[in-house]
Amino acid sequence: MKTFNTKNNFPLISIIIPTFNRADWIEAAIESILMQTFQNFELLVIDDGSTDNTQKIVSRCDENIKYYFQRNKGPAAARNYGIKKAKGKYICFLDSDDRWVKNKLEKQVNLVAADPNIKICYTDEIWIRSGVRVNQKIIHKKYSGWIYQHCLPLCIISPSSVMIHREVFDKVGLFDEDLIVCEDYDLWLRVSSFYPITFIRQPLIIKYGGHEDQLSHKFWGMDRFRVKALEKMLERKQLSTENRIATIKMLHQKCEILANGFFKRSKMEEGNLYLSIKEKYAISWTKP
């Protein structure tokens, strides 16, 4: 395998792979990093309590990979662990079941070199589901600039596609470890409320789906976690009036969907909970 550049004690980019029992996938993910045309990076693998032979696979890929093991806490905690260990000016993530196109880093580095004001950028994606390439739906359309309101319905930014200046985390905080899923949705809301985000229209990552160990398959009702993230944004009281109104409208919409779903299943207590959350934010549309 190709060995990456380790001469610089302070690499430009820190790449973080969070993983949990993905021994069958992680070697291909690492290979896609080692084959990058841009090589000034460090690679950190954060093993979130794997019980398979993940460590053995990682150790045979490249001796320069920094491997860390923690008890199972979830992807948010694993990414945060990596951020705290990272030395790079910019942070990138790669989920252990995804892969990068070989010039992914080069494209992003050239972009921020041309405009240092860009603090976060992300790329388009190729989707593979159960071995078949599929098209993204209209709801997954991606945008550039001040995209906060486009981030409200669902997560349009894949963690595997981003490159983030580390000062962004100083401003908005790390991933919320209390969120079992949708921790990326929560972070992108915070980021996009403070920063414009640049979208690179080329598909520079390959996302693989359809396997049973994906968290989106393990947890039903993902909007439950998005509602928590929306509540957090409203409680932070930092949004412009326009973005606050848009956030309340989205929270109302998701609470109605969840409440109706619970009522259909005769789960009255849960349904009433989401109606009460909706009512909580119905008092004022403009007052922060």
Percent helix, percent strand, percent coil in the chain, to nearest 5? 45, 20, 40
Q: Where are the alpha helices (DSSP H) in 35-165?
A: 54-61, 75-85, 104-114
Name the superfamily (CATH) of residues 13-217: Spore Coat Polysaccharide Biosynthesis Protein SpsA; Chain A (3.90.550.10)
Longest pairwise C-alpha distance within the chain = 62
pLDDT greater than 70 at residue 288: no
pLDDT band of 5, cuts 50, 70, 90: low
Per-residue pLDDT, averaged over 136-160, amounts to 95
pLDDT greater than 70 at residue 1: no
- CB-side neighbour CA atoms (13 Å) of 53: 7
Give tens-digit pLDDT for 41-98: 999 999 999 999 999 999 999 999 999 999 999 999 999 999 999 999 999 999 999 9
The pLDDT value given to residue 282: 77
pLDDT above 90 as % of the chain: 85
Give tens-digit pLDDT for 216-233: 545 567 999 999 999 999
Average pLDDT of the residues of the chain? 92
What residues does each domain of the chain span?
A: 13-217, 223-280
Dihedral of CA 21/140/122/191: which sign? negative
Q: Answer yes or no: are the C-beta atoms of 165 and 135 closer than 8 Å.
A: no
Give tens-digit pLDDT for 160-209: 999 999 999 999 999 999 999 999 999 999 999 999 999 999 999 999 98
The pLDDT value given to residue 136: 86
pLDDT band of 214, cuts 50, 70, 90: low
DSSP labels, 159-205? GGG-EEETHHHHHH----TT-SS-HHHHHHHHHHHHS-BEEEEEEEE
Range of lowest pLDDT (10-19, 136-145, 175-184, 209-218): 209-218
DSSP labels, 235-260? HHT-S-HHHHHHHHHHHHHHHHHHHH
